[in-house]
Amino acid sequence: MAKKMKASDELRIGVLGAGGRGWLASLAHKPGEGSRVVALCDIRKEAFKGWEHIRKREDNAPKMYCCEDYRRVLDRDDVDAVFITTPDYCHEEMALAAIEAGKSVYLEKPMAITIEGCDKILRAAKEKKARIFVGHNMRHMAFVTTMKRLIDEGAIGNLQTVWCRHFINYGGDAYFKDWHSEQKNTTGLLLQKGAHDIDVIHWLSGGFTKRVIGMGKLSVYNRCKNRRSPDELGCARFDDKNWPPLSQTGISPVIDVEDSSTIMMQLDNGVTANYMQCQYAPDACRNYTFIGDEGRIENITETKIAISRSRHGWGEQDEIIRVINGYDLHGGADPLIVDSFVKYAKGLAGAGVNSPLAARYSVATGVMGTRSIREDNMPFEIPPVDPDILKYFSK
Ligand SMILES: NC(=O)c1ccc[n+]([C@@H]2O[C@H](COP(=O)([O-])OP(=O)(O)OC[C@H]3O[C@@H](n4cnc5c(N)ncnc54)[C@H](O)[C@@H]3O)[C@@H](O)[C@H]2O)c1
């Protein structure tokens, strides 16, 4: 069982996957203020370079231990917690090993790429009484938390149905040049990217999906002519100049995931929901609308929420609510989720809005929705989590 620390004690952190998303852990590097990154692991040595400015800053501080094998970090007694920020296909193995080693775990979303993987992690965390926290940072975005509060306060009456349109203009840069483009690494992009949105839909609706139907296809990036060779490393750098999608260069040699997908979800509390993802849209935005029996709420942008309660024509909202939401650091959510994890890992606070159980249900919905897309749009039931796990994580 993870120990309880004092606020003044320093939480010593190891980072598994120091490059890419691994920079997130640098937000927890606060020497003298209660948390410090002490160890980095990455299979690419170049990833450590991104930490050099931090390491140089602290001439007198103990050096950060760097290695290429994540097990060396887990072996260390001077590591209390780990951030697992490696690609999705590593999550299950690394989370299980970290729990076994007695570390508190910040695990990036999606929790795993299979339902079985998630359930193994939940079971191991229950048995070890480990602190497990999944990187659903959208639960800290101001527009999401504001919409949740308004729905909970009854702004639209009783919630009935939800739609989310997800436009992605960097899809060709981020998801079709490296490991993301293959089913074996992600299951599919409905899960890899949509895990966030399915979780937001579940959280704001107060239920989990019990049945899902999907439809989708791969119809754009598979037509890109300029492919990288299989032995070349994919480069997922964003660049607005990479437009239109068919002009993309360095596209993965193997693409077997969908570039557009839609699912319909029946939640266990009667709410119905739709999620639509397009990886080749010219703009980037998540547009959610929640419709109740007394009104409709919608985020027009990430800083502007509209509420309609009276009967009127298109575009004439009753109320516009502006929310302060930075565009950097995922709308200001990253520092908040890291802060919440550090307090939780030290035993100073509960997990707050973080829910490993909900993370499992977002994966389960993504997995079964993807299966429906690939199996003639058949409806699939979401396998429920074991009752003992449900009871433990519902506490
Ligand atoms: N919550 C969010 O907003 C958010 C944003 C971006 C990425 N992510 C998640 O973060 C994870 C990483 O995504 P990314 O885009 O940074 O991927 P990435 O391909 O850049 O990988 C991250 C790092 O992990 C390293 N790595 C790969 N395999 C490793 C291994 N076996 N051992 C040690 N290091 C290894 C890579 O070399 C890289 O430096 C994904 O699961 C993704 O879903 C979440």
Q: Among 152, 282, 137, which residue's Cα sits nearest to residue 200?
A: 137
Could you tell me which residues come within 8 angstroms of residue 348 by beta carbon, excluding any fewer than 6 positions away? 4, 5, 7
Residue 348: enclosing H or E segment and its boundaries?
none
DSSP 386: P
- Report the amino acid identity of residue 373: I
Distance between Cα 211 and ligand 1 center (Å): 30
In CATH terms, the fold of domain 11-138+339-352 is: Rossmann fold (3.40.50)
- CA 35 to mean position of chain CA atoms: 23
CB 329 near ligand 1, within 6 Å: no
Indicate the pLDDT class of residue 3, thresholds 50, 70 and 90. confident
Distance between Cα 288 and ligand 1 center (Å): 27
Distance between Cα 161 and ligand 1 center (Å): 34
Q: Is the pLDDT of residue 329 over 90?
A: no
The DSSP line for 185-246 is HHS-HHHHTHHHHHHHHHHHHTS-EEEEEEEEE--SGGG---B--TTSPP-----TTS-SGG
Q: Among 47, 43, 34, which residue's Cα sits nearest to residue 7?
A: 34
pLDDT at 54: 84
- CB contact at 8 A, 195 and 362: yes
58 vs 330 pLDDT, higher one: 330
**Average pLDDT of the chain, as a whole number:** 95
pLDDT at 380: 98
pLDDT at 212: 99
The highest-level CATH class for domain 139-330+357-388 is alpha beta
Average pLDDT estimate for 65-84: 98
pLDDT at 385: 97
- CB contact at 8 A, 308 and 186: no
**d(Cα 274, Cα 61) in Å, to the nearest integer?**
51
Mode of pairing for the β-strands spanning 304-308 and 209-217: unpaired
**d(Cα 212, Cα 200) in Å, to the nearest integer?**
16
Q: What percent of the chain has pLDDT over 90?
A: 89
**pLDDT per residue over 213-251, tens digit each?**
999 999 999 999 999 999 998 989 999 999 999 999 999
What is the pTM (predicted TM-score) of this model? 0.97
pLDDT at 26: 96
Average pLDDT estimate for 122-141: 97
Q: Is the pLDDT of residue 133 over 80?
A: yes
- Report the amino acid identity of residue 152: D
The token pair that represents 300 in the structure block: 């027009």
Residue 387 CB: number of other CB atoms within 10 A?
A: 8
Whose alpha carbon is nearest atom 33 of ligand 1?
A: 42
**Residues 32-59, buried b or exposed e (16+ Cβ, 10 A)?**
eebbbbbbbbbeeeebbebbeeebeeee
Distance between Cα 203 and ligand 1 center (Å): 25
Owner of token pair 């260390």: 76
Q: Is the pLDDT of residue 324 over 70?
A: yes
Distance between Cα 314 and ligand 1 center (Å): 42
Q: Among 191, 29, 190, which residue's Cα sits nearest to residue 112?
A: 191
Q: Is the pLDDT of residue 85 over 80?
A: yes
Q: Among 373, 380, 89, which residue's Cα sits nearest to residue 218?
A: 373
Owner of token pair 């890899």: 192
**pLDDT per residue over 245-300, tens digit each?**
999 999 999 999 999 999 999 999 999 999 999 999 999 999 999 999 999 999 99
Distance between Cα 127 and ligand 1 center (Å): 27
Please report the atom of ligand 1 found closest to the CA of residue 174.
15
**d(Cα 95, Cα 72) in Å, to the nearest integer?**
14
Average pLDDT estimate for 328-335: 88
pLDDT at 326: 65
Mutate to test the pocket of ligand 1, among 86, 107, 179 (most ligand atoms within 8 A of CB): 86
CB 174 near ligand 1, within 6 Å: no
Domain boundaries, the chain: 11-138+339-352, 139-330+357-388
**d(Cα 370, Cα 105) in Å, to the nearest integer?**
28
| Sheet of 35-41, strands arranged across | 65-67, 35-41, 11-16, 81-84, 104-107, 132-134
pLDDT at 315: 83
- CB contact at 8 A, 320 and 308: no
**d(Cα 182, Cα 258) in Å, to the nearest integer?**
10
pLDDT at 330: 87
Please report the atom of ligand 1 found closest to the CA of residue 68.
33
Indicate the pLDDT class of residue 58, thresholds 50, 70 and 90. low
